[in-house]
């Protein structure tokens, strides 16, 4: 996989470039990992509903073909787009999502933070009272569970959002890790379709690092976890 750091990249041209790359790629083309940050932008997934858009103001909303609901991108957030041929990599979409989440969890662990999965709510969360706590969540995904309970976000903050698209066995869109950003725009939406879900970044839980360092750590984790 080839990693490319794009810097501050407008959202819509980046989205269109991902679509073009995926449509034109051949089975022999190497996988790529695009890492960037975006100017302030709301993006809406295929399942998006109007009631989750509260007050967009001067921030544009871009409809997309990824899964999920509405989220926010802005400076100070590391956005990673893995462009992976899953057929060649040898794993399915569910495992692909698990591997991306694992890369985020390992990135947080690099900073001494424990990231958590919540059953039925893709992305990574931290405990607001003690982000360093290793105590497992009762609502973590568990094999053999008969049903997926309604997520309860009490005491949790979302630090990374995930939305993917697969076309002809090839992925695009990806994951966004909040590092040090203006979190106020998340208050203009129901993040990922959940009213009252608190969004946090590394800086608000006491981790002060640069965008580039966090991008490097996440990039290396993704390169490692997404290997065939």
Length of the chain (residues) = 228
Q: How far apart are the C-alpha atoms of 222 and 151, rounded to whole Å?
A: 26
Q: Give yes or no: 36 in active site.
A: no
| Cα 50-122-46 angle, rounded to 5 deg | 35
Cα 39 from chain centre: 16
Which among 27, 33, 172 has a CA at the least distance from the CA of 87?
Answer: 27
Backbone angles phi, psi at 107, to 5 degrees: -65, -45
Which among 60, 64, 62 has a CA at the least distance from the CA of 45?
Answer: 64
Active-site residue, selected from the candidate residues 9, 192, 202, 218:
192
Q: How far apart are the C-alpha atoms of 90 and 57, rounded to whole Å?
A: 44
- List, by residue number, the catalytic residues: 192
């Amino acid at each position: 996989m080839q990693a490319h750091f794009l810097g501050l990249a407008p959202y819509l041209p980046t989205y269109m470039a991902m679509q073009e790359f995926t449509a034109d790629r051949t089975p022999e083309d190497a996988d790529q990992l695009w890492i960037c940050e975006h100017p302030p932008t709301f993006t809406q997934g295929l399942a998006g509903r109007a009631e989750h858009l509260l007050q967009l103001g001067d921030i544009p909303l871009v409809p997309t073909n990824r899964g999920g609901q509405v989220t926010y991108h802005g400076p100070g957030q590391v956005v990673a787009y893995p462009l992976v041929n899953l057929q060649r990599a040898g794993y399915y979409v569910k495992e692909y999502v698990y591997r991306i989440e694992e890369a985020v969890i390992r990135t947080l662990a690099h900073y001494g933070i424990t990231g958590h999965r919540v059953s039925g709510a893709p992305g990574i969360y931290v405990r607001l009272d003690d982000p360093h706590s290793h105590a497992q969540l009762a609502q973590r995904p568990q094999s053999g569970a008969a049903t997926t309970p309604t997520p309860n976000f009490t005491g949790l903050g979302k630090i990374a959002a995930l939305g993917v698209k697969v076309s002809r066995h090839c992925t695009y869109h990806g994951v966004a890790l909040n590092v040090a950003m203006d979190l106020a725009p998340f208050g203009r939406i129901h993040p990922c379709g959940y009213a009252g879900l608190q969004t946090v970044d590394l800086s608000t839980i006491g981790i002060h690092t640069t965008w580039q360092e966090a991008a490097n750590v996440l990039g290396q984790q993704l390169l490692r976890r997404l290997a065939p």
